[in-house]
Structures are given as C-alpha cells and as structure tokens.
C-alpha cells in the first residue's frame, strides 16, 4: 500500500533526524514505526488479574534468593 502524507517541515526534519540516527531512510523508518504501532495495537493487553498473578508470583521471591537461586516457593 502506498500512502501520501502532508507533514509540517519541522516534523519532517525531526523524523529525518530520527531516521538518520538509526541509519535508515525516512521511508524505512516510517514503515517500521507504522508496523510497530499496528502490532502493538493488535497485541492483547494483559488484564488486571494476569498482572496481579504475576506480581504475586514475583512477591514470593526473597531478595537473597535472587542471588542464591533459592526461593520460598
């Protein structure tokens, strides 16, 4: 798909600088940014219960166990 965008000159300059900093052309940089945004929007967000379960699991680890490889599980 081809898209044409009208972008303010200062925004274009900023995008060109960001692309150059990554060693990419502006076209490649924008394509990557748009694809990343689309993937992020398509990925399901973790729900609160999944987050709570993960935090509960992490809370079971004692700081000293992180160094020795032991946990109180």
> What contacts 68, CB < 8 A, 6 or more positions away?
none
In this prediction the pTM is 0.56
Which pair of tokens denotes residue 34? Answer: 């748009």
Query: What does the block give as tokens for 33?
Result: 């940014």
Task: Per residue of the chain (73 residues), give pLDDT as tens.
Answer: 888 889 899 999 999 999 999 999 999 999 999 998 888 776 676 677 787 888 888 887 765 545 555 545 5
Query: Domain residue spans in the chain?
Result: 1-42, 45-73
Q: What is the pLDDT of residue 10?
A: 93
Residue 9 has what pLDDT?
92
Which pLDDT value is given to residue 43?
Answer: 64
pLDDT at 19: 93
Give the span between the Cα atoms of 23 and 6, in whole angstroms.
23
């Amino acid at each position: 798909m081809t898209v044409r965008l009208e972008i303010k000159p200062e925004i274009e300059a900023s995008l060109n600088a960001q692309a150059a900093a990554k060693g990419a052309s502006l076209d490649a940089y924008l394509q990557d940014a748009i694809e990343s945004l689309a993937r992020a929007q398509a990925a399901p967000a973790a729900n609160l219960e999944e987050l709570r379960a993960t935090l509960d699991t992490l809370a079971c680890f004692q700081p000293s166990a992180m160094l020795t490889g032991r946990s109180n599980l």
